[in-house]
Amino acid sequence: MLYLASDHAGYRLKEIAKQFLDFLETEYTDLGTDNDETPVDYPDYAKKLVKKMNGKKDRGILFCGTGSGMCIMANRYKGIRAVVGNNEHEVLLGRSHNDVNVLCLGGRLTGENAAKKMIKIFLDTPFSGEARHKRRIKKLDLK
């Protein structure tokens, strides 16, 4: 399953992403927030999303003002590999080399078209599966 969550600052970009996912006929679950007027705390929504991500195939997209706060919080959880989507290349290599499973986007920084392109790459790019990438990923989860 693909999960989405945002704070108030990421809400608008999340709505745009939902329209785009509908267009792509990609199923998702929206975990909130549901408006941009009531301030909420990004760690609460990042936590809500990562707690839903059980399966290896689960993915998430988090939206806050910059993408950074969500990314910091998400990466505190074992098995989560989140990146801030700054550009398409970063997302492509993040998927291919790091098997990134959470994409974080900044509602106050990322343009609509750039967000759509990065979402498409995030969804479509497979993990390389190469031994050196697997070995490095194994070292990410601290005991």
Q: Which is nearer to ligand RB5, 67 or 94 (CB)?
A: 67
Least separation in angstroms between CB 65 and ligand RB5:
3
Could you say which of 65, 74, 95, 110 contacts ligand RB5 (CB under 6 A)?
65
Positions of E strands within 14-121:
29-30, 59-64, 82-84, 102-106
Among 2, 3, 4, 7, binds ligand RB5 (CB under 6 A): 7
> 63: closest CA among 88, 27, 33?
33
Residue 36 interacting with ligand RB5 (CB under 6 A): no
Assign 90 to helix, strand or coil: helix
> Distance from first CA to last CA of the chain, Å, rounded?
27
C-beta closer to ligand RB5: residue 17 or 99: 17
Residue 82 is classified by DSSP as E
Residue number with CB closer to ligand RB5 (7 or 99):
7
Range list of β-strands (E), 82-128: 82-84, 102-106
Q: Smallest gap, in angstroms, from Cβ of residue 35 to ligand RB5?
A: 14
3-class DSSP state for residue 25? coil
Q: Which of 69, 103, 119, 121 binds ligand RB5 (CB under 6 A)?
A: 69
Contacts to ligand RB5 by CB under 6 A: 7, 9, 42, 64-66, 68-69
